[in-house]
Amino acid sequence: MSDDSYPLTPYDEYPVHATPYPVSYIPATDYNWDEGYYWGVSNPDLGIHYCCGFRVNPATDMIGGYALLNVRGVQRTFRFSRTWKQNFNLEVGPFKVDFVEPLKRARLSLADNDSGIAHDIMWIGSCPAHLEEHHLAHRRGRRTTDQSRYSQPGICTGTLTLGDQTWDLSEPGWVAVRDHSWGLYVERPPFAANPKWLPPVPVNENARALRFWVLFHSGDLAGFYHMHEDKHGVQRKLDDVFGTPFQGTFFLNWDEEVIELKTARHEITFVPGTRMFEKATVHLTDQQGRAWTQELENSCPPWVIQTMGYTPGSWKDGGSFHCYHGSEDLATEWDEFDFSNQPFDYTPYGETGKGEPDTMHTGLSYNEKIHGVEYVLRVKTTAPDGRVYTGAGQLEMFLQGPYEPYGFE
């Protein structure tokens, strides 16, 4: 291997190597191998969700990201990208990340740009990060997902700006979440084989129907859990990109008390005539057999992932943030949509996006009305001893295909 192909990076200073080569060498050539971060900040009383992050795709030599602000359904997104190996620092144009204290504090900054969105945020974890069970999925014997992910709730200080308006994120009511994932994730056009030239995809009788992923912060109590169920509502190991049956942990005062969760069941209310989440009661049992109850309520129109950059046609040239957009140094763009009334008709940008499946595995097709699947929550938790914790959080929930428990066909 030449030094030009696999140069030294800042991370080669540390004893973190997983191969006998520099960190710039990735032991996979699949275009669907990537690594990236998501940070979110929400306020249910104001109906605001803000998120930012990026993903690195070594096989295309691209790093691309987003800053997305949704205020009661009006969603503005700033997208940015550049080639990766020219600069291994965690920055793309005006966007920059500094890990002040790994797994606990990160400084997120977005300088002034054409979109009008800017931020200077100190993201602070409110409990330890939760390493999710490893994600695996297969298609005709080939691994299509082979990924690790950790998730973490938190709080923030600093400011968020849109034009002339600035929000102080240290004010009461704000909550923060994040995740970090790496490995084979999902096949994302245009970097995916044309199904025309492959044998038909077998029907997966072991597929997920429901994804229910929750992060929350409620004063002294914070935590994470997710559950995945088949079309019959059974939580079991699934051959799916999100295949974990159930997993979760609550924490009191960081890790003063760690509550490992064992089981969960739900009572979900949907917006009439849709698969959109309205509210839910979730009954949780911990490893000691104690009962916890969470009441979750959506506070505003869900924000829409299709403008982030993950999916084909999310960039105006028809590509995604894994694609090259005409500049190795920096490509940027932004747009704004009114998603306050959902479901709605959605057409991706460009020829690349037209007719492509939804590669975020939400179960929503671009050929029909879609809706957001990311919800800003009010959260009320009742502990086994009767103590009540109130706060906020984020829910990612979607249903794919038939789902018998609530009568979806």
Q: Which helix (H) or strand (E) covers residue 184, if one does?
A: strand 175-184
Total residue length of the chain: 409
Is 55 strand, coil or helix?
Answer: strand
pLDDT in tens, the chain (409 residues): 455 688 999 999 999 898 899 999 988 889 999 999 999 999 999 999 999 999 999 999 999 999 999 999 999 999 999 999 999 999 999 999 999 999 999 999 999 999 999 999 999 999 999 999 998 888 888 888 999 999 999 999 999 999 999 999 999 999 999 999 999 988 888 888 888 999 998 888 888 999 999 999 999 999 999 999 999 999 999 988 888 999 999 999 999 999 999 999 999 999 999 999 999 999 999 999 999 999 999 999 999 999 999 989 999 999 999 999 999 999 999 999 999 999 999 889 986 555 555 555 555 555 568 999 999 999 999 999 999 999 999 999 999 999 999 999 9
What's the CA gap between 85 and 98, in Å, rounded? Answer: 19
Closest residue by Cα to residue 66 from 333, 362, 394, 393: 333
User: pLDDT at position 111, please?
Assistant: 98
- How is residue 188 annotated by DSSP? B
What's the CA gap between 276 and 79, in Å, rounded? Answer: 27
The domain limits of the chain are 33-406
Q: Is the peptide bond before 172 cis (omega within 30 degrees of 0)?
A: no
Closest residue by Cα to residue 32 from 239, 189, 137: 189
Domain 33-406, second-level architecture:
Beta Barrel (2.40)
At 377, which amino acid appears?
L
Tally the C-alpha atoms within 13 A of residue 282's C-alpha that lie toward its C-beta: 25
Answer whether 172's CB lies under 8 Å from 187's CB. no
User: pLDDT at position 367, please?
Assistant: 53
User: pLDDT at position 1, please?
Assistant: 46
What's the CA gap between 37 and 46, in Å, rounded? Answer: 25
User: pLDDT at position 28, please?
Assistant: 87
User: pLDDT at position 60, please?
Assistant: 94
At 22, which amino acid appears?
P
User: pLDDT at position 206, please?
Assistant: 84
User: pLDDT at position 169, please?
Assistant: 98
User: pLDDT at position 139, please?
Assistant: 85
- Entry pTM: 0.94
Q: What value, to the nearest 5°, has the Cα angle with vertex 317 and ends 38 and 62?
A: 45
Phi, then psi, of 11 in degrees rounded to 5: -80, -15
User: pLDDT at position 368, please?
Assistant: 66
User: pLDDT at position 360, please?
Assistant: 55
What's the CA gap between 221 and 218, in Å, rounded? Answer: 5
